[in-house]
Chain A
Amino acid sequence: MSEIDSPSTEPASSTMRIVRACLFLFRLTLQRQVFSRQTLVNLGLTIVCGMIVAAWSYRGHRTAMGFSDYMLLPTYISFLMPIFAISYGSSAIGGEREDQSLIYLLVTPIPRAAIYLTKAIAVSLLVAIWSGSTLALLCWLAGEPGKTLLPIYLPASLLAGLMYASVFLLLGAMFRHGTILSLAYWFFLEVLLIQMPGTVKRITVAFYLRCMLFDAGKTYNLGLRTPADVEMFAAISGESAMWVMICAILALTTFGAYAFSRREYTELG
């Protein structure tokens, strides 16, 4: 081992240093998430979904309504999109916590709130890219009905993907078994509550997503064919649903940054 020399030069100002560190953390988060096992599984699931849609597209009679009801809603909206958000959202902080490698972020001079926000932005970008490109792929495979539905589905699914990501990022940061909790949240709150009558389903992301989606797809009679459907998903307008989601994303991210900056991770180290 050699004798120790002082560092030759100090980096620029403290603020600049933190900005640089945050930019690098953003890149690091993207890099570690993209080259992870989750990405392989996501890819596998997307390929299977693509095969399903490709098989469906061989039917003689194809309508936008059919594609929405039998393909996009059950496979993409109810399954793939939340899975993308869970895979990246809950593991961004929750996964590092499970591996105990989070400690190396917490020893850096980056303020904790900035760590959280950087991770939130990286995860949101990743979820948006996965959700958007998968939707585009499925719509392309479906042919004409897909082309019709893409502009209707894209804004709602991107917004819902971001909201899912912010929920799962928060759960991963707040709870020790955040990944399991995220899966439980998705199944119990999102899958089960969305089918229930009354106002209870308004605490789910899926509700606002459907409200926005069905409002935008009124022309094609998407989702709102029976009085029960209207009762379930036309309670609020698409625009209101959109604002609820935007506000929720901002609120969840702000709360997450605050909570993360106060949280003690006693299990680390």
Chain B
Amino acid sequence: MVDNHPQRAVTTLDQAGYRPWTGTLRSPWWSVLAIVRVALGLIMRRWLFWGLLGLGLLNFLYHFSFIYLKATLVVQSRDFARFLDGFKLTGTGEAYMTFMHVQAGIAALLLAFAGSMLIGADTRHGGMIFYLSRSMDRKHYIIGKLLSIAAIVSLITTVPALILYIEYGVLSNSFDYFVENWTIARGILGFGLVLATVQSLLLFAVASWIPRTVPLAMTWLGIFVLLTALGRALREMAGDRRWMLLALWEDMLRIGHWAFGSLPENRIPTGTETAVVLVGVCLVSLALIVYRVKAVEVVR
């Protein structure tokens, strides 16, 4: 349609198409937060993922209620409290470790399903180009995606465990629980950090090379399930417990025990050996990620 007012037409044309942003741009590091927010939004929008999140929430509520029940019963009957202590369901490092272990399983399963959507779609459908065409660098993209996965893992494992720890402490008669059990807080944060770091790097590496849902889920589950079985079989065969280092899932648990201070000393494989293996896995994953992301050319 032709505009009869030349002046207005020129103004309208000026507004059309792409034009540079004239305001002040914030640091590209802010884009990392945007990537995390988008990733969390993607997960929260799918009802299927809510099934898994709900499972984690159920486990959390069970523990939450149990701590509350125990605190209430302690006031009414000391004997009953001693009876409940026998179950070691709450309050101890071992209890938090078990809780986080179950939650970590749920998180790993969620990542198996969501990896293709979070990472794979970026390589398959050109999402990475969309991100990298913004005023951000590859490192911001990588860190953003890693933090997204880490946030999902932490929301299912570390955050609920910390809430339970605080709940247990504040339902006690004094704050001595926090002072006497500071190693539990260290354990929760340490184990949570290991779970988030290893899983985020590993998932990013696997999903950027195997972006489709089914092969990705197969590989992801295979890494944890089959490597554990292989480690056990080789340990039996060679009589050397160090073969268990192949089992990445068990390695993460071992580091968790280490952080909680419950890993027996001189037990092979040691915490240091396990840490070396996990750091190696993380470095290899990082190299694979960088190689893959660098391969995407973006014309600005």
Contact = CB atoms under 8 A, between A and B. Distances in A.
Question: What range describes how many residues of B lie at the interface?
Answer: 20 to 34
A74 interface: yes
Interface in A54-105: 55-56, 58-59, 74-75, 79, 83, 86-87, 90-91, 95, 98
A148 interface: no
A48 B51 contact: no
Interface string B210-231: 1011110111011001110110
Contact of B214 (A51, A95, A188): A95
B229 A74 contact: yes
B112 A183 contact: yes
B215 to A, nearest CB: 4
A90 B214 contact: yes
9 contacts: A38-B218, A41-B219, A51-B233, A53-B233, A55-B230, A59-B237, A79-B221, A183-B113, A183-B213
B236 A55 contact: yes
Contacts, number: 82
A55 B214 CA distance: 28
Given A37-B212, A55-B237, A188-B51, A86 B229 contact: no
Nearest to A87: B214
Interface of A is mostly: helix
B226 A183 contact: no
Contacts of B226: 45, 48-49, 52, 75, 79
Contacts of B237: 55-56, 58-59
A42 B218 contact: yes
B48 A180 contact: yes
A181 B49 CA distance: 10
Contacts of B230: 48, 51-52, 55
A177 B48 contact: yes
B39 to A, nearest CB: 16
Interface string B90-115: 00000000000000000001001100
Q: How big is chain A's contact interface, by range?
A: 35 or more
B281 interface: no
B118 to A, nearest CB: 13
Contact of B222 (A48, A51, A180): A48
A42 B215 CA distance: 8
B40 interface: no
Nearest to A51: B230
A87 B218 contact: yes
A79 B236 CA distance: 21
A187 B214 contact: no
B116 to A, nearest CB: 8
A45 B229 CA distance: 12
A177 B49 CA distance: 12
Q: Which 8 residue pairs are nearest across A and B when measured between Cβ atoms?
A: A55-B233, A55-B237, A58-B237, A52-B233, A41-B215, A179-B213, A48-B226, A37-B215
Nearest to A78: B225
B215 A184 contact: no
Interface in B221-255: 221-222, 225-227, 229-230, 233-234, 236-237
